[in-house]
Amino acid sequence: MTLKKNIGYIGLGNIGGPTAKHIINDEFNLYVYDLNEDAVKTLTDEGAYACGTIGELASTCEHIGLCVRDDKDINNILYGTEGILENANQGTLIAISSTISHASLAQWEADVIAAGMSLVDAPISGGAHGAAAGNLVYMVGCSKDDFERAKPVFETSAELVIHTGKLGSGTTLKLANNLMTYAQLIAVSEAFALAEAHAVDPKLLFEMSKINGVINHNTQMFISARNDLFASGGADLVKEFMAGNAGLGEKDLKCAIESAHAAGIELPLTRLSQELIKGVFLKTINYNGESSNDT
């Protein structure tokens, strides 16, 4: 009988939680850690094992997935007396599925290699719906050997797992994907404003897109959900539900701009998108004047 591999997962939010849930199967034991006790209980009810500290999880698992908000969170997970680097065994594979900066990734790579471990950047696309359905897209940057080691874990929640090349290439592809996503959100918001200004039903754009494919499904879901929130409770309700995503949008676009600068290029539309994206998420842009991004 083949022994089940111990897989760790840190970060059980609306994407990390359902992604981790798919790992619970006949091939893997799942160990989880999150500050949210309810999120942990959701997974332990399905058969996962809860760890009281990051160090406990790190010392138990040969593959550790991270799905947290930003570079700062990953620093807190990797370093310190209870961090992964101080507690994991040599040969442990660390897979980062957060959207991060190349600069931080380079530092983590050096420290992880020095500790005798492997680092994989494995950002994902598909959102919470894709995580729940198990049809995410993984963009994986690492050596071929590490890709083959990590792929079976990724496949538990994926429709497509792409080996993008060396470490960092997965992050590059994710940043490129995200900047296209945010640019479309901004464009569709402006298209709605133009239609409304001429007393034309903007939802007709959705009808047209069923044929011409201009507006993708995810953008349509976002615009519809945001507008429904605004109709129900105004700007305060939109802020309650969308403020976190607005912050992520600004952070992701900042990472893309920094990545472009590191490569010696400029992304003018991305820079403009970073200025606008918060107002688009919170529906605070006044199309008769300037954005009110201070709400």
Banded model confidence at residue 295, pLDDT cuts 50, 70, 90:
very low
Question: How is the chain split into domains, by residue range?
Answer: 5-166, 172-282
Give the pLDDT confidence of 103-151 residue by residue, as tens digits: 999 999 999 999 999 999 999 999 899 999 999 999 999 999 999 999 9
- Put simply, whether the predicted model's pTM sits higher than 0.75 gets the answer yes
Give the pLDDT confidence of 38-91 residue by residue, as tens digits: 999 999 999 999 999 999 999 999 999 999 999 999 999 999 999 999 999 999
Can you name the CATH fold of 5-166? Rossmann fold (3.40.50)
Domain 172-282 listed as CATH 1.10.1040: yes
Question: Which of 113, 118, 112 minimizes the C-alpha distance to 140?
Answer: 118
Beta pairing partners, 29:
6
- Which residues are annotated as catalytic? 174
Question: Which of 293, 193, 280, 294 minimizes the C-alpha distance to 242?
Answer: 280
> What span, in angstroms and rounded, lies between the C-alpha atoms of 66 and 21?
14
Supply the pLDDT for residue 1.
Answer: 52
